Structure 1
Amino acid sequence: MPKLSSILLVDDDPITNFLNQRLLDEMALTEKLLVALNGKEAIALIQENSESATGCPALILLDVNMPVMNGFDFLSAYEQLAVACPQPSVIIMLTTSLHPRDVQRVETLNIAGFLNKPLTKEKVTNILQEHFGTTTAE
């Protein structure tokens, strides 16, 4: 399978971002891995990178609870974006909270999935199989 155009990690925890970045690098899924510490930074990265063919993230891994702009607010802002992406991003929300209120709210959103942290190779493989029709980029 060809590598994904780009992947966007959105999480306010630098350690989580580091570990997820390392996992995705080891799996060799993309040449372009973008990292944002909140939803506002993520929106800015998407806008900045949407002009190039590899700029629109094929996959967005989005934390739910973040300062400045949380995952839910990001999704609202993302839907309003006027960027020319060849196809919509696959958005997977990641959380440490499976609070029934959050789970219920997520079920009403236009996202591809909801996973409990931590991100693992198995979880990424399942995302690739379900949404991109493959298990690895190699």
Structure 2
Amino acid sequence: MQKLPCILLVDDDRTTNYLNQRLLEKLDVAEQLLVAHNGQEALTLLNKHCHNPTADCPVLVLLDMKMPIMDGFSFLEAYKQLPDTQQRNILVVMLSTSLHPQDVQRAQELPITAFLNKPLTNEKVRQLLNLHYSQERSAL
């Protein structure tokens, strides 16, 4: 399978970001990995990398739910306000250790593609990519 052009990891826990980055590198699924430590940094990176059609815009955002400064929910509220051209080809997957029904319901009301329980694993990444990118990846 062809690599995705860019994936954005968003988590305030540096160890989690490091482990997820190593996992994605080991699986060799992306040309570029971007890392943000909160939703505000993620928005800044999206604005920087998605400003024109030839930019290296992430096609997948792996987003933690609970973070300081700007959590995943606030990020998604701000993300919905971005121009359609910036959102069009981006899938957002929310990652969390919380399976509290209120959190899951709130996440499902926002523009996310999937909700995955942490930790991220080989199997979860492969299933996600096969489900959402198997046909598209051959065209990338």
Could you tell me which residue of structure 2 aligns to residue 45 of structure 1? Answer: 45
Could you tell me which residue of structure 1 aligns to residue 25 of structure 2? Answer: 25
More helix by share: 2
RMSD (CA atoms): 1.9
Deviation >3 Å, runs of 4+: 83-87
What is the TM-score with the length of structure 2 in the denominator? 0.89
Superposed displacement of residue 87, structure 1: 3.5
Superposed displacement of residue 104, structure 1: 1.2
Could you tell me which residue of structure 2 aligns to residue 131 of structure 1? Answer: 132
Kindly report which structure 2 residues correspond to 1:95-110, keeping only aligned pairs within 5 A, or say none.
95-110=96-111
Paired with 2:101 and 2:16, the residues of 1 have a C-alpha distance of 23
Superposed displacement of residue 82, structure 1: 2.8
Kindly report which structure 2 residues correspond to 1:58-137, keeping only aligned pairs within 5 A, or say none.
58-82=59-83, 84-85=85-86, 87-133=88-134
Moved more, 66-75 or 106-115: 106-115
Spell out, residue by residue over 1:43-91, the C-alpha distance to the aligned partner (whole angstroms, 9 max, x if none).
Answer: 0001111146352111100000000000011011111123744832111
Could you tell me which residue of structure 2 aligns to residue 3 of structure 1? Answer: 3
Moved more, 117-126 or 99-108: 99-108
Q: Structure 2: where are the runs of 5+ without partners? A: none
SS in 2 for 1:73: helix
Paired with 1:83 and 1:5, the residues of 2 have a C-alpha distance of 19
SS in 1 for 2:93: strand
More strand by share: 2
CA contact (8 A) 1:46 1:55 kept: no
Q: Structure 1: where are the runs of 5+ without partners? A: none
Spell out, residue by residue over 1:91-130, the C-alpha distance to the aligned partner (whole angstroms, 9 max, x if none).
Answer: 1100011111101111212211001000000000010011
Moved more, 114-123 or 83-92: 83-92
| Fraction of identical pairs, as percent | 51
Moved more, 123-132 or 100-109: 100-109
